[in-house]
Structure 1
Amino acid sequence: MSRPMALIAFLATLIALPALAAETRHTVILSGNKAGIQTTSVAADGTRQVSYEFNDRGRGPKLAARIKVNEAGLPVSVQTTGNDYLKVPVKETFSLEQGVARWHNDAENGERKLTAPAFYISLQSTPEESALLANALLKAEGHKLALLPEGQATLLKGDEATVKSSVGARRVTSYEISGLGFGPETVWLDQDGAFFASVSSWASFILEGWESSAPELLELQNKRNNARILDNAKALTRQPKGPLAIVNANLFDSQSGRSIPGSTVLVEGNRIKAVGADGKVAIPANAERIDARGRALLPGLADMHVHISEEDGVQHLAAGVTTVRDMANDTDTLLDLKRRIEAGQEVGPRIFMSGIMEGPGPFAGPTKVLIDNEAQAREAVDNYAKLGYQGVKIYSSMKPELVPVIAKLAHEKGLRVGGHVPANMNARQFIEAGADEMQHINFVFLNFFFDEVKDTRTPARFTVVAQRASKLDLNSSEVRSFVQLMKDRHVVIDPTVTIFHTMFTRQPGTVGPGYAPIASRLPPQVRRSLLTGGLPIPKGSEQQYRDSADALLRMIKLLYDSGITIVAGTDDLPGFTLHRELEMYVQAGISAPEVLRIATLNAAKVLKRDADLGTIAPGKFADMILADGDPARRISDIRNTDLVVKDGKVYEVAALYRSIGVLPRPRAEPTP
């Protein structure tokens, strides 16, 4: 073809393409730091081209989506490609033709003849899609729409505000969308109905040039959310008018590991007044009695690795988790949440806090507390101590030479030191530099893979463990020497093994064994999210990855047998994941009573609060759970908690779950 003919053909192609409007850009902000961008262009026929990516410590999605909606704002065509948060390839399609909806992705393949309007939610979605859903709901009758593959969304108009920036002023409105998760999700639209922002203390998406408006929008959003949460707390919390007596209970003594049937516990205010055999404890005439009917009565559970946010408290408490340790959060957000829970304005557990400290750089974690020298370290440690934190969490980009400095400063203030093993440092060096704890079982393995993974800031800290853990000889002198070091230094391990076991074994399209027992009870879109999330497993490596997942459990058993203190943490879905974490410890070979001790008394001792927490005994806080069956014999019965007492207040588990869209559990069969 001649040059002129080629040029004519090229111009003809351009003419045939839909004209694109000016590009709209939204900044992705993680904990106050710019982390990525979403760009959106809309063609003359309404087709949207969306590009979305962000970098979170080497992880993060990169998606390209082509979306077309009809006059009602409902998707009729969606094609998405790229990779998800863990870099697994994504290829997702949806179409609506002649009333038949069809969708396909790595986890799902469905088709449905529609009899009413419905909105397809992409399994791997972009922020733009939340604005499309909001607009569709605005047009829908009653502001309600069925969701595909399942569920229903509703819309409630929130606040209006005029925000200002260097480029002018803009009128924006918030809309709360219910039906996507455990609580409403808020999206801000401008006066034309275009996506303006979605904000939170952890992750925000906001129109480029308007980033300074995010705090103002978040304040308005929080004020509205807090009012709703307060009403919820009043409805869910029952304060006994006088003493509370729980009788006929099978009490688990976490000190001895024994279960004591026929027990009575008397509570006055927020403390346990007396514990003894039925008929041997004097119960005041004005006491409220709860007949346990032989059910297990245990100390409230502790999750020692969370990143709590608003409304997580209901999930924790419903699962019997009355104490949590937050291992990194926005300081102002966390302190405000803690204050509201303590004031009874929100339902939630007791919160202990460990403040994150990170080094600056391209792989820095989501925090504003970035430390590059001793003066900055001292300022951060002093501030955390002043605010009532119990520890500091060193993160992956911290300079190795600053670790002993931070440890010394923290110990001088009575703070514990733990966290990730920083890049270019192995776990042995981390402990020798003064660490009291290690978070995540993968870092124990990485101590022996330092030849391959010196930089722990990238996903290699997951993939190399998945590839090599099963080949590590746990009886080797190198492993035994390291375990002895942990024992000599009284180092605590917080394994969070469930997240790694899931990463190494999850297959797209199936719910793993950790969540299978409760998946059917969850809100549809939450249940759907459980179909994804594993590492990209090279073809032919499936068995190797499963073997490495099992090796994690063998290491936990070795640490336990060697006298290393274990605490139970999750770093994942609140409440439900702790149940699975405890099941995994039993699967590793630790007895159920010892696992319950790990989840109660061990945590209290590490927090230095065993005088108040961790056992059911006179003088201690009234934090207890009542469960069908006997978790000390069958650990999975811990999932059958149906009543929680926290700080002397009573909570019905079924009501807690209903408030966040979780179905009540089926009645448990009696333990044989």
Structure 2
Amino acid sequence: MKKKISIAIIVLFVFKIYAQEFSSQVKRFITVDDTEYAITDVTVIDGTGSASKTNQTIIISNGKIKAIGNDLEIPNGTTTIDGTGKTIIPGLVMLHEHMFYTKPFENWFSVGQMTFTFPRLYLAGGVTSMRTGGSIQPQTDLNVKKWINEGRMTGPKMHVTGPFIEREGPKVPELGFIDSPGEVSKIVNYWADKGVTSFKVYNNITKEDLKICVEEAHKRGLKVTGHLCSLTYEEASNIGIDNLEHGFMAASDFVKNKEENICDPFEARQGLTNEPVDGETINNLIDLLIKNKTVITTTPNVFEPYTDREIVPGNGLDALAPQIQERIKEDYKRAQGRDAASLARFNKNLTWVKRFYDKGGFLVAGTDPTGAGRTVAGYANQRTVEILVEAGFTVEEAIKICTLNGAIFLEQEKLLGTLEVGKQADIILINGDLNFDIKNIRNMEIVFKDGVGFDSKRLFDSVKGQVGLN
């Protein structure tokens, strides 16, 4: 009797893996949920960095890639999707995402949790896996992750970072602040027990804070990233931080006579402005980061200049609540023709990021939907790929950075990140040729997560006018 029960449990478990049940709220976005189907005559960019291939067929079975090639026999009765004139790429794996959005008030900087709009927008924009780059409501993020996995909410697979580890500096009411290094180990172990998988240190920490964070996180097999200022990239890399955020835009290494453990954002920005594009400090820093195997996350979208560009890069203005649209439009008008210095830093940083990559550095990507409020989940993820190509990366390199590299960092590369037989069917079907025009990445039709196809446009449309509210 016990043996029969055990077999029944195994059968039910296997069935649950390959036939996930979804709530009615999730089902309304699903367009493909067949056990087996094929996408035919499609161009494939597989995420490995290899050149794209045309006239390919990919067969999906039980949520995984069963076969891929240009001369495949499709079993009779298999559902087929015509991929003529279309491209498939792996689902995006993005590593500096947030579940919150900028909500300033008077002269206060503040952020608000986007529990419902952002998960949908990320998936709509092709993100099938994401890491939050710091959480203001980590328990909320963990709950959302759980409910997505259970099929009760719509969104990507989530890797949740703990609350920001920070000392008091600028008054951001949603941040918690520590007073001593001893608090760091308590934060790391408490939230590791809760299920977060990484930690983020912030602008005003000390060397001792970071040392403890790295030590405690690494004991648990978890990683530490940082948006720094009080510490230089060189100091953090030598201490053993795994990841540095925002390309080189947050580096204070270019400050002359920098005071230890002190953040001076104005001096840091000036140092970035003054450092020559081919300066000795930046080149030595790049070599050190590569030697120490410190990963860089590029987040160009959040720094994108205003002049002659979209109000919300990626064309996401309609996603914002009407009153927020008005504020963003006014800010945009005021900034036209007045952001030459921002443009210079933006371009310089992209040059350095590409140099880091070309010399062998490990580069991943994210969006950071904060800043001035022009960075909106989903739209920003698509725009990030465009910016990488505009910066000189090939289309195949840009896709690899935003897919396989992210999967490797998350230690998920055996499961996802590329289009290969046996991997999970995390796939984006795009109307158009990315090599002809990278902006075709905005023409996503179906985003497949574990083989289940979600309607990208329907997801985008479902939350129009709600970002900033929910």
* 1:430 maps to 2:264: no
Displacement of 1:464:
4.9
The correspondence for 2:75, drawn from 260, 278, 284, is 284
Greater share of helix:
2
Go from structure 1 to structure 2 and tell me whether the alpha carbon gap of 1:641 and 1:404 turns closer, same or farther (over 3 Å shift): same
1:307: which partner in 2?
A: 98
Q: CA deviation at 1:288?
A: 1.8
Counting only pairs closer than 5 Å after superposition, residues 79-228 of structure 1 correspond to structure 2 as none
Q: CA deviation at 1:634?
A: 2.8
For residues 350 and 326 of structure 2, the distance between their equivalents in structure 1, rounded to whole angstroms, comes to 27
For 2:54 and 2:343, locate their aligned partners in 1 and report how far apart those are by CA, in whole Å. Answer: 40
Taking the aligned partners of 2:301 and 2:257, their CA distance within structure 1 comes to: 26
Report the residue type matching 1:616 in the other structure: L
Of the structure 1 ranges 353-362 and 648-657, higher mean CA displacement relative to structure 2 is found in 353-362
Deviation at 1:529, TM superposition (A): 4.3
Query: Is 2:93 the partner of 1:295?
Result: no
Residue 340 of structure 2 corresponds to which residue in structure 1? 543
Distance 2:416 2:154 in 1: 19
1:514-547 CA distance string (max 9 Å, x none): 627454687655543432557998x997433332
State the alpha-carbon separation in 2 of the partners of residues 294 and 433 from structure 1.
49
Q: Name the residue aligned to 1:643.
A: 446
Q: TM-score, normalised by structure 1?
A: 0.58
Q: Structure 1 247/404 Cα, relative in aligned 2: closer, same or farther at 3 Å?
A: same
Q: 1:478 to 1:314 in 2, by over 3 A?
A: same
Matches within 5 A, 1:513-552: 515=313, 517=315, 519=317, 524-525=322-323, 527-532=325-330, 542-552=339-349
How far does the alpha carbon of each residue in 1:100-126 deviate from its partner, in whole angstroms, 9 at most, with x for none? xxxxxxxxxxxxxxxxxxxxxxxxxxx
Larger Rg: 1
Q: How does 1:451-470 map to 2 (within 5 A)?
A: 451=257, 461=265, 464=267, 467-470=270-273
The 3 A distance-change label for structure 1 pair 263 and 588 is: same
Q: Is the 8 A contact 1:426 1:454 kept in 2?
A: no
Q: How many residues align?
A: 422
Q: For 2:252, which of 446, 459, 481 is the aligned residue?
A: 446
Give yes or no for the alignment of 1:384 onto 2:384.
Answer: no
Counterpart for residue 39 of structure 2: 246
1 or 2 for the larger relative contact order (CA 8 Å, sep ≥6)? 2
- Cα deviation for residue 334 of structure 1 reads 0.9
Q: Secondary structure of the residue that 1:253 maps to in structure 2?
A: coil
- Residue 483 of structure 1 is matched in structure 2 by 286
Counterpart of 1:264 (choices 48, 52, 57) is 57
Match of 1:472 in 2: 275
Report if the CA contact (8 A) 1:421-1:443 is conserved: no
361, 373, 380: which one aligns with 2:181: 373
Which consecutive unaligned segments of at least 5 residues does structure 2 have? 1-21, 100-113, 370-375, 466-470
Distance 2:311 2:186 in 1: 45
1:455 Cα deviation after fit: 7.1
Give 1:419 shift: 1.2
Q: Secondary structure at the match of 1:255?
A: coil
What is the deviation of 1:600? 0.6
Contact 1:242 1:286 in 2 (8 A): no
TM-superposition CA deviations, 1:413-467 (whole Å, max 9, x none): 11111112252x222111111111101135554211254687776xx63x55655
Letter in 1 for 2:253: N
Q: Which one-letter code corresponds to 1:257 in the other structure?
A: S
Cα contact 1:258–1:593 (8 A) shared by 2 = yes
What secondary structure is seen at the aligned counterpart in 2 of 1:262?
A: strand
Structure 2 distance, partners of 1:546, 1:446, is 19
Counterparts of 1:252 and 1:362, CA distance in 2: 45
Equivalent residue, structure 2, for 1:618: 421
Residue deviations 1:490-536 (CA, integer Å, cap 9, x gap): 111112122123xxx326xx863662745468765554343255799
| 1:44-83 correspondence to structure 2 within 5 Å | none
* Counterparts in 2 of 1:594 and 1:362: CA distance versus 1, 3 Å: closer
Displacement of 1:483 = 0.8
Aligned twin of 2:210: 403
- What CA distance in whole angstroms lies between the structure 1 residues aligned with 2:219 and 2:319? 47
C-alpha deviation, 1:256, in angstroms: 4.0
**Cα separation, partners in 2 of 1:652 and 1:252, compared to 1, 3 Å:** same
Contact 1:360 1:397 in 2 (8 A): yes
Deviation track 1:330-359 (CA, whole Å, cap 9, x = no partner) reads 221011100111111111011012223424
2:357 matched residue in structure 1: 560
Determine which structure has the larger strand proportion and give its number.
1
Contact 2:311 2:317 in 1 (8 A): no
Aligned to 1:69: none
Taking the aligned partners of 1:248 and 1:356, their CA distance within structure 2 comes to 46
CA deviations over 1:611-652 (Å, ceiling 9, x no partner): 011111111111101112222443221111111111111112
Q: CA-atom RMSD, angstroms?
A: 3.0
- Give 3-state SS (helix, strand or coil) of 2:188's partner: helix
DSSP-derived class of the 1:448 partner? coil
Distance in 2, matches of 1:398 and 1:432, equals 16
- Give the % identical residues: 25
Residue 506 (1) aligns with residue 314 (2) = no
Q: Unaligned regions of 5+ residues in structure 1, if any?
A: 1-228, 663-672
- State the one-letter code of the partner of 1:280: L
Relative to structure 1, the CA distance from residue 587 to residue 449 in structure 2 (aligned partners, 3 Å threshold; closer, same or farther) is farther
Task: Flag the 1:545–1:364 CA change in 2: closer, same or farther, 3 A.
Answer: closer
Q: Deviations over 1:145-166 (max 9, x none)?
A: xxxxxxxxxxxxxxxxxxxxxx
Find the aligned partners of 1:397 and 1:468 in 2 and give their Cα distance.
18
